[in-house]
Chain A
Amino acid sequence: MKNCSKCGNPQIIIKKKHSGQSLCRECFIESTREKVLKDIRKYKLIEKGDKVLMALSGGKDSVMALNILNSLCERNIIDLVAVTIDEGIKGYREDGIRIATENAEILGIEHKVVSFKQYFGRTLDEIMSESQKNAELRHACTYCGVFRRWILNRVALEEGATKIATGHNLDDETQSILMNYLEGNMHNLVRIGPKSESQDKRFTVKIKPLREIPEREVGLYAVAADLKVHLAGCPYAGDSFRREVGNFIKSLSLKHPTIMYSTLRGFERIKPLLKRELSSKVERGVCRRCGEPASGDLCKACTFIEKWDK
């Protein structure tokens, strides 16, 4: 059996297949934290004086990100506030909210819970049972994503936040790259990155501090660091295309442990070229209903809502 590559401790908790490194608990926690902080500097995700709004679901990814960002907060580099969005998913979201709240309390971070109900008058469960009645075939995640983005952007403005941090990990990111590529969705593809680059000042910049940490390592970090996290699957998560693509890369990774890193690196290299080719300066207007930025007359969230209210 191997010892820790850094300190020689025989009790290792991970053998990284992609780098050959073996690490003990302490060294794994330390090096993962360092890696995240290094990426924050490398991609200039955060500047001194930023007010960061953490999208905190209570899951392993956002709890880990919150804990690492908190170290920047303790050093007075940033201000940190957390927001948990209650989509209204019965039997699932309640635990997430409770755990998110506990984490914010432990760290002494200001925490808000906001809901779909409060902003849109309906829970995700209600949206889904309505849309089933009307035989609409959209996946729950489509509504969930659109409304969540809308709320995050709104809360960031309300809080005066300069950055929105999300818990996206390496698996999520390679999933998005592959998914958009496979769907031929090149305009969405070039938008993927550690930091959003919208020219529109009304969109708060979004950052992904865990973007280069594989999902399994996020899970290991949460257990190793004894974080309180909500480990459960969303009842709506079932067979979306995203899920299929995710399972596909995860299964490839078993035999090819560097595949997610190479997908990401390859993408980073072609992205500037694609961007030059595809860049279209779309004039963004304002949604006539809610005032959020929109490419048409209505933003995506309001398009759904207007249809329902008819």
Chain B
Amino acid sequence: MKIKVIINEEKEIKEISEGNTIKDLLKILEIPSETVVVKRNEFIVIEEEIIKEGDTIEIIKVIYGG
């Protein structure tokens, strides 16, 4: 299924499998989940949340070194 992923204002359409969670998506994107806050359709969600067809997932990196 298709979803929209926004990372640092860069939008991208991604194809992921049915039943994938935010955690799965972050794993695919190789982003450590403890460094980000994720919004689904503008609402903050936890990483166990299951992604649905057509969702817009925004990944906000909140932890940087230094």
**Which residues on A are within 8 Å of B, measured CB to CB?**
1, 11-15, 25, 60, 141, 215-216, 218-220, 222-224, 231-234, 236-238, 240, 243, 246-247, 250, 253-254
Contacts and interface: CB of A to CB of B under 8 A. Distances in A.
A253 B62 CA distance: 17
Interface string B38-66: 01000111101100000000001111111
Given A13-B45, A215-B63, A237-B64, 5 more contacts: A216-B35, A216-B63, A238-B65, A243-B65, A247-B65
B45 A233 contact: no
Secondary structure of the A contact surface, majority rule: helix
Interface of B: 34-35, 37, 39, 43-46, 48-49, 60-66
Nearest to A254: B34
Contact of A237 (B37, B45, B62, B66): B66
A231 B62 contact: yes
Contacts of A234: 64, 66
Contacts of A11: 43
A216 B65 contact: no
Given A250-B34, A253-B34, A254-B34, A219 B46 contact: no
Contacts of A231: 60-62, 64
A223 B66 contact: no
A165 B64 CA distance: 21
